[in-house]
Structure 1
Amino acid sequence: MIDLNADLGEGFGRWQLTDDDALLTSVTSANVACGFHAGDPVTMRHVCERAVAAGVSIGAQVSYRDLAGFGRRSMDVPAADLAAEVAYQIGALEIFARAAGSAVRYVKPHGALYNRCVRDAGQAAAVVEGIRLAGGTLPVLGLPGSELHSAAAAAGLPVVNEAFADRGYRPDGTLVPRTEPGALLDDPERIIARCFAIARGEEVTAVDGTPLRLPARSLCLHGDTPGAAQLARRIRAELGGADVTLKAFA
């Protein structure tokens, strides 16, 4: 059993990056942009309504305040400010999730914030404090062994291990930065093979050939990966055909 998540709602006004409606026919969890790296009220409302109709779990994808850089530029944000901004984003999405008949079920940082919280204990603790400020004990989706998961566990929040279908890994199990070669997998067959290996608990290889085991309850396929909707359909169909159940973790 494994969850399949994707980043959705990554648009702004008339500009749309992800094919949300198509992805929602295949994924089991939707990481919805909350307005800081992408997303706006109309987009958030639409995605929440479609997610509920499709039986997909809604998660808040929180970010640094970086619309121009799509949340992929690292920033030095004071801990108190970051906690408040995380709580603000969760609260904004919660309004639309509840209006659609559901609720925000989990939290996942986006982009630079996600990567920063792998090793930066201070920023990780601020994200967790933001989740607590938002008034709940929401599960935290993130990289196994990260500072984010350590902070969440210390605060009594459930942690959910995530692995990536379409990103390159370093030998230490962290993600290859997008500015370096091997950061993105673009061969559909490699991506499908990676999904099977993770779902079965088998080894995958880092960019240098190092074997890795990626314990994961959730698989991420980026919504802006070329052909993401078609890939998601293949992943769902082929994993299901191999007796792997796709089910939301929250």
Structure 2
Amino acid sequence: MRRAQQALLWSAVAVLLLVASVALFPALFATHDPLQTAVRSALLPPSAEHFFGTDQSGRDVYSRVVFGAARSLGIGLLATGIALVAGLLIGALAGVAPRAADVALMRVNDVLMAFPEFLVALVVIAVLGPGPVNVAIAVTLAAVPVYVRLARVQTRTLRVAEHVEAARILGVPPLTAFARHVVPGVVGSLSVLATIGIGSSILAAAGLSFLGLGPAEPTPEWGLMLAGGRNVLGQAWWISVFPGLAITLTVVAATVVGRILRARADGLRP
């Protein structure tokens, strides 16, 4: 790996570690109560007292961004983790199922993949209704088809690999050989894809919250904070800009790490 790529990778990892630390220990980074209002301090610009300024209710934007990291990153990790497991189970099943079942599963999966993930999430929200839990469910279901396709391809490739065939010849039961030699390889490929998927899930969740379909005020959440400042963008740009920067940096960092890892896994240069 070239030095520039190494520097880019470690910079992205550092950003993700910082976001994770903020999400795990927000009280160590915050300077104010994210829910405390102060009408007399409303719409103050960034300063030494309020690093990111204040919003319409006088709440400290920096502290709200800090406490919002846990919710936004949590949704991204949870949705990606569940989607990975579901994609592994469905994709592996399709990879070993009879041709008719495989074709049926993959045609349904292809239909879902024909639509953008955000549109699928919107449809799920339309069925389930708005709310933070339903946002997590919607983002998860929208991400599953990508993992299903990759898991199915990897399963069909690995199940006929030489080392798997050798295990069977040596008398290893088919199910044991599948669990020991096929599943780990599929999980490895899905894990690399999941690194990119974390950023996509965070972005999708923030978009749904921006539309008012996720958490409600006064919950500190990056997408909701973006929406809260859109009507006063010309007067108080900081209300939306700083949550937007937090989303952008997190998504870009996750995408960079995921793409470099995928390129290394494929034996290619990014």
Scaled by the length of structure 2, the TM-score of the pair is 0.19
Between Structure 1 and Structure 2, which shows a larger proportion of strand residues?
Answer: 1
Larger radius of gyration: 2
Name the structure with the higher helix share.
2
